[in-house]
Amino acid sequence: MNYIKINNYALCMLLWFLPLGAKAQRSIEFTWQKEQEHRADKQYTEEKHYKKGKLHGVYKKLDAQGNLVTKGCYVAGKRHGKWWELMTMYASYHYIEYNYKHGIITEIFDYSAWGKNKDSPKRIEDHYILQPDARNYTVHEIYWDGKPIGKKQEL
């Protein structure tokens, strides 16, 4: 009987936390899909390099005003290392940073600020660690308050 109670408890905990992980993954996918739709009718300039017919080296994408919207590196045709994407569809400063290892995403850092420029106070930081794959990951979330905290209490 105790065995059944433990399994029921474990099942309840799994069902309770499962939507949180699924929601987080859908959130990044939804954000990127909407960003792609937002960028579809805009003009961009790309800087890219090839080696033996494959993308290799620094990659940059700039909008019509010359603002950097994408930055990363290719190794033998696959994304590798840090990739940075500015989310241009938002009124606030928002970017997503991806860490790749030979074409496979290992980490995602999602950052947004309260204001439009990059020096604005932080609003939300999400750090996704995809280990060993995209279906098994952990999320670290920080929600920053936009109001000043006030005076430091002295002891």
Tens digit of each residue's pLDDT (9 = 90 or more) over 69-105:
999 999 999 999 999 999 888 777 888 999 999 998 8
Count of structural domains within the chain? 1
Going by pLDDT thresholds of 50, 70 and 90, the confidence category of residue 4 is very low
Domain assignment of residue 149, yes or no: no
| Inter-residue contact 112 to 94 (CB < 8 Å) | yes
Domain of residue 121, residue span:
2-143
Domain assignment of residue 153, yes or no: no
Domain assignment of residue 137, yes or no: yes
Domain assignment of residue 102, yes or no: yes
Q: Which of 14-18, 41-45, 75-79, 103-107 has the highest mean predicted lDDT (pLDDT)?
A: 75-79
Domain assignment of residue 151, yes or no: no
* Residue 1: predicted pLDDT: 44
Instruction: Quote the CA–CA distance of 110 and 83 in Å, as a whole number.
Output: 12
For 125, other C-beta atoms within 10 Å of its C-beta total: 15
Domain assignment of residue 121, yes or no: yes
* Residue 121: predicted pLDDT: 78
Going by pLDDT thresholds of 50, 70 and 90, the confidence category of residue 24 is very low
Domain assignment of residue 150, yes or no: no
Residues 97-150 pLDDT 10s: 999 999 988 998 988 888 877 777 778 888 888 877 667 778 888 887 655 555
* Residue 144: predicted pLDDT: 79
Estimate the share of the chain in helix, then strand, then coil, as percent rounded to the nearest 5. Answer: 25, 45, 30
pTM of this structure:
0.69
Instruction: Quote the CA–CA distance of 119 and 71 in Å, as a whole number.
Output: 19
